Amino acid sequence: MQTNIMERSFSVISGSIVNEILQSNYAKVIDLVKAAYLTHGEKKTVNPDSYFLKFPEKPEARIIALPAHLGGDFDISGIKWIASFPKNINHGIPRASAVIILNDYETGYPIACIEGSIISASRTAASAVLGAQNLIKSKTVKRLGIIGCGLISRYVLNFMLNTGWTISSLELFDLVDEYSVAMKDYFQERGIKEIHISSTKEELISACDLITLTTTAGVPHINDVSVFNHNPTVLHLSLRDLSPNIILASNNIVDDVDHCLKAATSLHLTEQQVGNREFVTGTIDRLVLGEVSLDSQKPTIYSPFGMGILDLAVASYVFEQSVMNKLAITVPDFFYETKRI
């Protein structure tokens, strides 16, 4: 996305506009995420480690910087600045808030500030559904299990329901009962009639052919490998739920090996335990291209780290659509000094 910065105003794009654009383009968002992964597989991206700003007085809270460059057909750079303050939930407001800054690749000038929490949730859900549709070609699920009934799991299921999936029944589990009940009510209103709340995680896993893990767990809390004996597909979005013995007994698909095997993820703990990465079966870009062989006698676990390039792919689309349809707030004199001399 190249532009002459002196011919374009700086744009501010609100969450209501982001929501309007993305909620009517679910399939497009999945395609954008797919294109970003394929571009990454072609080594046309720069995706440094995230930087965590932490607070001694608030050990549970953090603000994360995710800088990235997405080349190929995108040619856009930028950064997501996303705050995670879990105690917000006690005040009835979302845990996460974010902005995304896009930078022009030719000049480096910032061209837009975009509300980022909806983009972040959407790209996470799109990544999950992209993985699912390449692992379950029929897009048909008898029982979908959700462990962690929060915003991300809601986004994942909405993406599935709006991109042609058939889901016969839904199983829910959360440590806070009211979250499970709220999700049950939400999706019953949206046409899923058979929804149950499981009494344990293990009961849910044993009953479901597709499982989504969207918790806030910091260490593995699912240890019984026998509950996966029916070889389900697992979307391991929260990355730290499964013990190494489960990882070792499964096919493992990641979005990026180096990113996924760090920061005490389940895969990182597994690497530390066995001293190698041979348990990683393949990456999402290779899976999309049909270049990954899976053992049908094992569970398959998709563990996407969630890279900044995905935020850029979706944010650049939101930017283009909002400018084209005159939805963005423009600040024509945002850059005051426009001449070097």
3-state secondary structure the chain: CCCCHHHCCEEEECHHHHHHHHCCCHHHHHHHHHHHHHHHHCCCEECCCCEEEEECCEEEEEEEEEEEEECCCCCEEEEEEEEECHHHHHHCCCCEEEEEEEEECCCCCEEEEEECHHHHHHHHHHHHHHHHHHHCCCCEEEEEEEECCCHHHHHHHHHHHCCCCEEEEEEEECCCHHHHHHHHHHHHCCCCCCEEECCCHHHHHHHCCEEEECCCCCCCCECCHHHHCCCCEEEECCCCCECHHHHHCCEEEECCHHHHCCCCCHHHHHHHHHCCCCCCCEEHHHHHCCCCCCCCCCCEEEECCCCHHHHHHHHHHHHHHHHHCCCCEEECCCCCCCCCC
Kindly report whether the global pTM for this prediction surpasses the value 0.75: yes
| Same domain for 286 and 201 | yes
66-89 burial, b if ≥16 CB within 10 A, otherwise e? bbbbbbeebebbbbbbbbbbeeee
Percentage of the chain lying above the pLDDT 70 cut: 98
Q: Residue 174 phi/psi, 5° resolution? A: -150, 150
Same domain, 269 and 242: yes
Q: Would 251 be classed as within a structural domain?
A: yes
Q: Do 282 and 154 share a domain, yes or no?
A: yes
- Is 271 a domain residue? yes
Q: Let me know if residue 299 belongs to a domain.
A: yes
- pLDDT tens for each residue of 130-170: 999 999 999 999 999 999 999 999 999 999 999 999 999 99
Q: Are residues 77 and 201 in the same domain?
A: no
Q: Average pLDDT, stretch 254-261?
A: 96
Backbone phi and psi for residue 34, each to the nearest 5 degrees, phi listed first: -60, -45
Q: Are 28 and 317 in contact (CB under 8 A)?
A: yes
Q: Are residues 162 and 114 in the same domain?
A: no
Residue 208 lies in a domain: yes
**Do residues 268 and 299 both lie within one domain?**
yes
Shared domain for 220 and 256, answered yes or no, is yes
Inside any domain, residue 336: no
Which backbone phi and psi does 107 adopt, to 5 degrees?
A: -110, -20
User: pLDDT > 90: what percent of the chain?
Assistant: 89
Q: Do residues 36 and 173 both lie within one domain? A: no
Q: What is the mean pLDDT of the chain?
A: 95
Are 155 and 104 members of one domain?
no
Count the Cβ atoms, other than its own, within 10 Å of residue 338. 9
Domain assignment of residue 36, yes or no = yes
Instruction: Report the CATH number that the domain containing residue 177 is assigned in CATH.
Output: 3.40.50.720
12: in domain: yes
Instruction: Report d(CA 177, CA 55) in Å as an integer.
Output: 30
Same domain, 313 and 276: no
285-341 pLDDT tens trace = 999 999 999 999 999 999 999 899 999 999 999 999 999 999 999 998 888 777 777
Q: Is residue 41 part of a domain?
A: yes
Residues 227 and 158 in one domain: yes
Residue 2 has pLDDT above 50, yes or no: no
Tell whether the model's pLDDT for residue 3 goes beyond 50. no
Domain CATH code at residue 65: 3.30.1780.10
Region 270-275: mean pLDDT is: 98
* Cα–Cα distance measured from residue 320 to residue 317, given in angstroms and rounded to the nearest whole number: 5
Domain of residue 194, residue span: 130-303
Q: How many domains does the chain have?
A: 2
Measured between alpha carbons, how far is residue 220 from residues 209, 236, 287 in Å? 21, 12, 26
For residue 123, pLDDT over 80 is answered with: yes
> Are residues 139 and 115 part of one domain?
no
